[in-house]
Amino acid sequence: MNRMDNMIKLEFLSLSKNESFARAAAAAFIAPLDPTIEELADVRTAVSEAVTNAVIHGYRNGLGTVLMELTLAGRLLTVRVEDKGCGIEDIELAMKPFYTTGNRAERSGMGFAVMAAFMDKLKVESKLGVGTTVIMEKLIAQPNEPEQNG
C-alpha cells in the first residue's frame, strides 16, 4: 500500500448545495499544510468542478450519492470524486474545452479544463450506465521558512 498520512471519505447526496460543502471540506483538509491562498483556491475550484459534474452530468440533476475521498501522502493531495450516474460516452470529447452536452442551462464546457489547469494531474474513468470517477492530484508546496536572525 502506498504511503498515506491522512484520509477522509465523504458521501453526500447529489444536491447542488453540497458543492460548497465539498470544497470547504477539501480546503479544511489541506489547511494544516499551510497552503498559499492560490493553492487553496485552486483545490476549492477543482473540487467544485468535479462535484458539479457528478450532480448535473452524472445524475443529470436526479438524486444519487457522490463519494469524495481526500488523501494526503506527505504534501501530495489526491482527490477522488465518484458517482454512480449515467457515465460518459466519450471521455476524450468531454474533456475538450467548451464541449458541453448542451442541456438547457448555460454551461461553459470548461469543467475538465479547469480541473486540469488548477491541479497537477487529472484522470477520468467512466463507464456508461455505471458511473464516473475523477482522480486529481496536487502537490502543496512547502511554505517559505521565515528568515532566522543571528
Query: Considering beta carbons, is residue 52 or 133 the nearer one to other proteins?
Result: 52
Stretch in the footprint of other proteins (CB under 8 A) among 50-58, 68-76, 80-88, 138-146? 50-58
14 near other proteins, judged by CB under 8 A: no
**121-127 and 131-139 beta bridge pairing:** antiparallel
**Cα–Cα dist 35/21, whole Å:** 19
Residue 107 binds other proteins, judged by CB under 8 A:
yes
Q: Is 55 in the site for other proteins (CB under 8 A)?
A: yes
Backbone phi, psi, residue 72, to 5°:
-120, 130
74 vs 97 by CB, closer to other proteins: 97
Specify burial of residue 93 (Cβ count, 10 A radius: 0-12, 13-18, 19+): exposed
- Give the C-alpha separation, 6 to 78, whole Å: 11
Catalytic residues: 49, 53, 107
The footprint of other proteins (CB under 8 A) covers 16-17, 19-20, 23, 37-38, 41-42, 44-45, 48-49, 52, 55-56, 105-111, 113-114, 117
